[in-house]
A and B are shown apart, each in its own frame.
Chain A
Amino acid sequence: GAGVSQSPSNKVTEKGKDVELRCDPISGHTALYWYRQSLGQGLEFLIYFQGNSAPDKSGLPSDRFSAERTGGSVSTLTIQRTQQEDSAVYLCASSSMDGAEAFFGQGTRLTVV
């Protein structure tokens, strides 16, 4: 596709359930980022993938959070045993190379009830 695509756009889940959020980056982009944004807050870095290098997971808030990137393209962010404080917009971005402009998807709005 022309841009970064995220799915689902909205997700409502019950506390304690697992969720998977998907990101399709722009074709050919080697760098992929996940961020979280709570209402009225700034972007919180979660994880960064770059090519075949080990991902930078330093922003993942707990071991309930994990992410994969298969074949250097699609990425999945998994949140296990969701909690109400996980409610936020989860944004994915990709860029063509280190230090280049990053393009964002429209985000997945996660609501844990």
Chain B
Amino acid sequence: RKEVEQDPGPFNVPEGATVAFNCTYSNSASQSFFWYRQDCRKEPKLLMSVYSSGNEDGRFTAQLNRASQYISLLIRDSKLSDSATYLCVVTTSETYKYIFGTGTRLKVLA
């Protein structure tokens, strides 16, 4: 089983739609969680950290479920510019090594 798993997609959604991605992780000692965004042929950039209490940044909401070992990202009112690959990242308290999921591709359609 991979340490971090994501549905690769692509998720094709119309503008204005709400879309949600999940990411599961296998190590219960995982400590820090992030969502990164990667545009085509660009480097990944931090979208948001994921806190235990959940957090929201504009149209984006991230949640953590430690019991079921998954994190989620919700995007409301999708824009064309949201089209990208969304990468789930997990670190553990043992190594702090960043472990990336393979990413979920999102295409927002006009």
Contact = CB atoms under 8 A, between A and B. Distances in A.
A42 B101 contact: yes
Given A101-B46, A104-B45, A45 B96 contact: no
A91 B97 contact: no
Nearest to B3: A45
A106 interface: yes
A48 B93 CA distance: 14
Interface residues of A, number: 22
Interface of A: 31, 33, 35, 41-43, 45, 48, 50, 56, 91, 93, 98-107
Contact of B31 (A93, A99, A106): A99
A50 B100 contact: no
Contacts of A42: 87, 100-103
A99 B102 contact: no
Contact of B95 (A48, A101, A102, A106): A48
Contacts of B89: 102
A35 to B, nearest CB: 7
Contact of B98 (A41, A93, A105, A106): A93
A99 B87 CA distance: 16
Contacts of A107: 43
B29 interface: no
A107 B41 CA distance: 10
Contact of A33 (B43, B98, B101, B103): B98
